Amino acid sequence: MSMNSVGRPTRPEAPANDASTATLTGGRGLLQDEPLIFELGGWDKSGVDLPEATGVDDALDGLLRHDPIGLPGLSEPEIMRHYVRLSQKNHAIDLALYPLGSCTMKHNPRLNEKMARLPGFSDIHPLQPVSTVQGALGLMDQLAHWLKTLTGMPAVALSPKAGAHGELCGLLAIRAAHEANGQGHRKTVLAPTSAHGTNPATAAFAGYTVKEIGQTDDGRVDLADLAAKLGPDVAAIMVTNPNTCGLFEREVIEIARLTHEAGAYFYCDGANFNAIVGRVRPGDLGVDAMHINLHKTFSTPHGGGGPGAGPVVLSAALAPYAPTPWVVAGEDGFKLVEHEEEEAAAAFGRLTAFNGQMGMYVRALSYMLSHGADGLRQVAEDAVLNANYIKARLSDVMSPAFPDGPCMHEALFDDAWLEGTGVTTLDFAKAMIDEGFHPMTMYFPLVVHGAMLIEPTETESKYELDRFIAALRALAHAAKAGDVDRFKNAPTQAPLRRLDETLAARKPRLKWSSVSPAPLAAE
Amino acid sequence: MRYLPLTPDDRAEMLSVIGVKSIDDLFVDVPAAARRTGVVDLPLHAGELEVERELSALAARNRTAGSGPFFCGAGAYRHHVPASVDHIIQRSEFLTSYTPYQPEIAQGTLQVLFEFQTQVAALTGLEVANASLYDGSTGAAEAVMMANRITRKGKAVLSGGLHPHYVRSIETLAHAAGVATDTLAAAVDAEAAVIDAIDADTACVVVQTPNVFGTVTDVTRIAEAAHAAGALLIVVTTEAVSYGLLKSPGEMGADIAVAEGQSIGNGLNFGGPYVGLFACREKYMRQIPGRLCGETVDAEGRRGFVLTLSTREQHIRRDKATSNICTNSGLCALAFTIHMSLLGEQGLRRLAALNHDRARKLKAALAATPGVEVLTDRYFNEIAVRLPRDAAEVVETLAGAGVIAGVPYSRLAPQAGMDDVLLLAATELTSDADIALLQKALTKVIAQ
């Protein structure tokens, strides 16, 4: 999902005045100061023992690499220390609440990891004979069945590699359908101002012009504006539901009706499916295509920024245009449709070389089987309950962006309550770091001033929620009491103080160099 | 349920704090017509033991690469991954964190990305690299889009040596964006032919080395021809280990290098998740798709790392972004970096030489097999051969005999008229005994 912390280059506002934390070595207790791998020697050794090769084929004369490559190698103990030390500089779900709104940072069950590592799944090649991978194809077929049943949609394209890739898949299917129906002139995609940045970026990538749809005061799609903009040039609308304000689009069925009446398709951004899984089927809402982030709703790990997986469920109207490959069940086992011929003649193409994120399919199915139909419904209910609990318990000290009515799986606040304190949303977020929590999503959605989007997920206990709420309440009181330095200096307890993002962008240094220039210094 | 901490008492208490009677009151915004009262028609929850049993049964129905002679390559390669790699990537702090939006508490991930970018730039011989893409094929498609933005020309020339699935991935994205493609006929030694296809409208040429038939090509002349026409050269590599033996794309004049990084640190996983490597000339830095990690300092002047140049990206630029990418392949990039940091230059060169060595053995054995014609002259660890029979049938028959003989080219491109061509790869895991078994089985099938 999109987040604005990196979108607003920031630099420390206060002078460094906290020298008391300095040590002689740069290490701080359990936190070691760790150089780059390139600064640890290792230019003439390796941590892998391999036999010597006997020779090179003469045909490669003139094609060999002779110049130094510039890669250090270290022994296993050195490597373990290096990366374990680095790991300790990361926040993680396993450490504390990670309430990034729209990202669904829930617990990652370790059974899923164990299952994905079964050699029967991890040590099989995407191009070995299909007769030798019937279990893998069976797993993909079963995952597809779960996704179709949970969404009430007739088809699914599994191969997209992440949510944004899924958006692309959906829009390309829509485009192919329009072209097949003589509607190729439709070149506009409508999306609300509150949409994830990936929506307009994907639409542009798929060759569309994007127009924004307005929003009502209660945080929903403005139906009148939508109706006015739905014309013969519109190919699709892209609407997130529950939306990026954490609210269910009450008029979603009417949105679908208007869209279809205008000859356009309804693409639903399914980033927030976690809020409704097992309780609402997007197919019942009139959705034509929706991606599902397996790394959000279905608990596959976020891994520091991927890999994700973004299967796309499709309506009957779009199903024929799904990209290859896909699995079909036959009398003598499963087969893999890999080319745009015969039953796949209408496929819009191919999105990636192989079968998509198999490792994520295994994890997601492991999660689905564990929860079952009943557990997944409880997932949605607890996710929504936790978010509303946070909203209820913070509303007297912070300002909810949409105070009336319940939210879904995330609680959205604006920065009106910080007015006059001298503290910004960013400062507040950085102060949360000092209290041991990952900040919420900041400055997104764009439609809410100084937005703070809190998504606790269903895997937080009441104890942990109460601890989080107490921390935010204490911080809110501190901000209102004029303790501005606490916020401007924050974080003081993290491995590093606030970083100079402006400098990084102004003087890009994207790799280590042996002819190391002087250390960067703030201007 | 073992993943849900709330108890019924917790839920009741929380509902009362919120001020509603039941959970249904929190779903009131859902239209009545779409509210489902019962559970969907799927199995109910299951214990860890039951899930493990069910998935293990599915896993057991697959023939693993490690269980016998195995020669599949064509874009995914079976290599040995040191045990420490998988241990480190399962550390909670790496596994259960997200994109480093808050750099003060994500220096672990950020420093790894900086190391990864440095390694990828070194391997490809180019100046800057990004923090990874989904895989090699999507990276190739992104590179074509990038070349189109830079040159403002509308055509990509795709070599006949480019992996057919890469070709289709590029064509799919390019055509959607209005970029034309000129895909040349498949040929074992196909790279030189692209020179003739370059014209004034050409934004880029995409060549692969080693190519899908295993052929290694010095693309220097192609680079010169492309540059003379104002086009960029994109060099694709599906076997990243080859960087340890062969001239780098940068050394041969590539403007953009794209690779599948799976071979280093990552397993076969039936095709994903993998990790796309992406590097280019520094002057194109602001047109790079995906995340970039950069060096900076904190408030006390200490070195640190942040995501940077984000004004290229979707969350800022929205419909003007260089790509729609958000999530990439972080954990696979971590695995790549750890494995590469264990190998070092010495280990990588040795690993690459060993792969080539095994392929020499394989080639010699195949050349000595009656009826088999070796098609690839200049190879790294993969070769194409012509069989006297349909290659797909031979592969199926040999699979029945316990030998996974490789990838029939027709599996990748059924319409290419190369039904008798078989692609075989050897890696450091290919033993003499594996090669002997293949040769024996192949001899028998051909004689039938």
- Same domain flag for B313 and B356: no
CA distance A292 to B341: 35
Are both B317 and B413 inside the same structural domain?
A: no
The CA distance from B181 to the nearest CA of chain A, in Å, is 14
CA distances to A102, A126, B270, B383, B393 from B422, rounded to whole Å, are: 47, 16, 20, 8, 11
For chain B, first and last CA: distance in Å? Answer: 58
Instruction: Note whether B74 and B144 are same-domain residues.
Output: no
> Sorting pLDDT into bands at 50, 70 and 90, what band is A205?
confident
- My answer on whether B409 and B289 are in the same domain is no
Quickly count: other Cβ atoms within 10 Å of residue A233's Cβ.
Answer: 14
Which residues does chain B have within 8 Å of residue A349's beta carbon, measured at their own beta carbons?
168-169, 171-172, 175
* B376 close contact with A: CB closer than 8 A: no
**Which residues on neighbouring strands pair with residue B280, listed in sequence order?**
B128, B256
Min Cα separation B402/chain A (Å)? 10
In a domain, B56, yes or no: no
Instruction: Give me the total of CB pairs closer than 8 Å, taking one residue from chain A and one from chain B.
Output: 758
B228 touches chain A (CB under 8 A): no
Contacts of A116 in chain B (CB under 8 A): 269
pLDDT, average across residues B338-350 = 98
Residue A16: pLDDT over 70: no
CB contact under 8 Å between B306 and A499, yes or no, is yes
Q: What is the mean pLDDT of residues A88-109?
A: 96
What confidence category does residue A1 fall into, taking pLDDT thresholds of 50, 70 and 90? very low
Of residues B122, B301, B308, nearest to A70 (C-beta): B122
Looking at residue A374, what is its pLDDT?
97
pLDDT tops 50 at residue A4: no
pLDDT tens digit sequence for A248-298: 999 999 999 999 999 999 999 999 999 999 999 999 999 999 999 999 999
CB contact under 8 A, B177 and A83: no
- Over the stretch B209-248, which tens digit does the pLDDT of each residue have? 999 999 999 999 999 999 999 999 999 999 999 999 999 9
Cα distance between residue A251 and residue A254, in whole Å: 5
Average pLDDT of span B115-128:
98
Q: What tens digit of pLDDT does each residue of B8-32 get?
A: 999 999 999 999 999 999 999 999 9
**Which residue did the predictor score with more confidence, A302 or A29?**
A302
Distance from CA of A242 to the nearest CA of B (A): 10
**In chain B, which residues have their Cβ closer than 8 Å to the Cβ of A425?**
none
Residues of A in contact with B5 (CB under 8 A): 459-462, 464
Query: Between B313, B348, B378, which is nearest A59 by CB?
Result: B378
Q: Which of A100, A122, A285 sits opposite B269 (nearest CB)?
A: A122
- Note the maximum CA span of chain A: 78
Is B54 within a domain?
Answer: no
Question: What one-character DSSP code corresponds to residue B188?
Answer: T
Q: For position B328, what pLDDT does the model report?
A: 85
Q: What is the reported pLDDT for B322?
A: 80
Is B159 inside any structural domain?
Answer: yes
CB contact under 8 A, B104 and A348: no
Q: How far is A12 from chain B (nearest CA, A)?
A: 6
- Put simply, the answer to whether B52 touches A111 (Cβ < 8 Å) is yes
pLDDT tens per residue across span B141-175? 999 999 999 999 999 999 999 999 999 999 999 99
pLDDT for residue A172 = 97
Q: Is B393 on the interface with A (CB under 8 A)?
A: no
Q: Is residue B18 part of a domain?
A: no
Q: Least CB-CB distance to A497: which of B52, B58, B299?
A: B299
Q: Is residue B53 part of a domain?
A: no
**Bridge-based pairing state of the strands A333-337 and A399-400:** unpaired
Which residue from A103, A250, A373 is facing B39, i.e. has the nearest CB?
Answer: A373
Beta strands of B238-389 (E only): which ranges?
256-260, 276-280, 293-297, 303-307, 373-374, 382-386
Q: Is B11 on the interface with A (CB under 8 A)?
A: yes
Contacts of residue B114, defined as CB under 8 A and 6 or more positions apart, other chains included, come to A36, A510, A511, A512, B293, B294, B295, B305
Predicted confidence band of residue A422 (pLDDT cuts 50, 70, 90): very high
In the prediction, which pLDDT does A174 show? Answer: 98
Do B289 and B405 lie in one domain? The reply is no
Rounded to a whole number, what is the distance in Å from the CA of B321 to chain A's nearest CA?
6
pLDDT for A7: 52
Cβ contact A496–B319 (<8 Å):
no
Residue B313 binned pLDDT confidence (cut-offs 50, 70, 90): confident
> pLDDT at position A283, please?
97
* Domain final residue pick, B296, B315, B340: B340
Q: Which residues of A touch B74 (CB under 8 A)?
A: 127
- Confidence (pLDDT) at A20: 56
Q: Torsion angle, CA of A58/A62/A65/A68, rounded to 10 degrees? A: 120
In a domain, B37, yes or no: no
Angle among Cα A31, A37, A40 to the nearest 5 degrees reads: 85
For A519, residues 6+ apart whose C-beta sits below 8 A from its C-beta are B297, B301, B303
Cross-chain Cβ contact B65/A111 below 8 Å? no
Rounded to 5°, angle at Cα A309 from A307 and A315: 165
Residues in Cβ contact with A336 at an 8 Å cutoff, skipping those fewer than 6 apart: A130, A137, A325, A326, A327, A355
Tell me if chain A has a CB within 8 Å of the CB of B182: no
The residue written with tokens 């000092």 in the block is A434
**Half-sphere exposure of residue A265, counting CA atoms within 13 Å on the CB side?**
28
Mean pLDDT across chain A, nearest whole number? 94
Q: What is the C-alpha separation between A251 and A223, in angstroms, rounded?
A: 8
The ipTM estimated for the assembled molecules is 0.98
Q: What is the pLDDT of residues A214-237, one digit of tens each?
A: 999 999 999 999 999 999 999 999
- In chain A, residues with a C-beta closer than 8 Å to the C-beta of B135 are 161, 352-354
CB contact under 8 A, B118 and A512: yes
State whether B119 and B215 are in the same domain.
Answer: yes
CA distance A239 to chain B (A): 15
CATH code of residue B300: 3.40.640.10
Do B275 and B360 fall within a single domain? no
Order of all β-strands in the sheet with B407-408: B373-374, B382-386, B421-425, B407-408
Does residue B314 have a pLDDT over 90? no
Answer yes or no: do B354 and B328 share one domain: no
Compute the radius of gyration of chain B from its Cα atoms: 25
Position A9 scores a pLDDT of 65
- Interface contact A510-B117, CB threshold 8 A: yes
Domain match, B207 and B354 both: no
CB-closest option in B18, B246, B319 to A210: B319
Sign of CA dihedral A242, A244, A249, A254: negative
Instruction: List B residues 289-328 in contact with A (Cβ-Cβ < 8 A).
Output: 291-304, 306-311, 313-321, 323-328
Q: Is residue B68 within 8 angstroms of chain A, CB to CB?
A: no
Give me the residue from A113, A119, A504 closest to B66, CB to CB.
A119
Rounded mean pLDDT, A308-330: 97
- State mean pLDDT over A177-202: 95
Facing B273 at nearest CB: one of A69, A357, A500: A357
Question: For residue A114, which residues of chain B lie inside 8 Å, CB to CB?
Answer: 52
B260 and B396 in a single domain? The answer is no
Residue of A nearest to B290 (CA): A305
User: Does the beta-carbon distance from B218 to A51 stay under 8 Å?
Assistant: no
> Could B74 and A406 be called an inter-chain contact, meaning their C-beta atoms sit closer than 8 Å?
no
Q: Do B258 and B123 have their domain in common?
A: yes
Question: What CATH number does residue B376 fall under?
Answer: 3.90.1150.10
Domain that holds residue B252: 83-340
Residue B51 lies in a domain: no
Question: Last residue of a domain, which of B320, B340, B360?
Answer: B340
Domain finish residue from B340, B373, B395? B340
Q: Which residues does chain A have within 8 Å of residue B11's beta carbon, measured at their own beta carbons?
A: 382, 385
Nearest CA in chain A to B355: A53
B404 and B260, same domain (yes or no): no
CA distance B265 to chain A (A): 12
Classify the C-alpha dihedral A31-A36-A40-A46 as positive or negative.
positive
> Is there a contact between A162 and B122 if contact means CB atoms under 8 Å apart?
no
Residue B229 lies inside a defined structural domain of this protein? yes
* Distance of alpha carbon B244 from alpha carbon A57, whole angstroms: 15
Name every residue whose Cβ is closer than 8 Å to that of residue A324 and which is 6 or more positions away in sequence: A337, A338, A339, A340, A344, A347, A349, A350, B168
What is the pLDDT, as a whole number, of residue A2? Answer: 42
Mean pLDDT for chain B? 96
**Structure confidence at residue B105 (pLDDT):** 97
Cβ atoms B246, A65 nearer than 8 A: yes
The structural domain count of chain B equals: 2
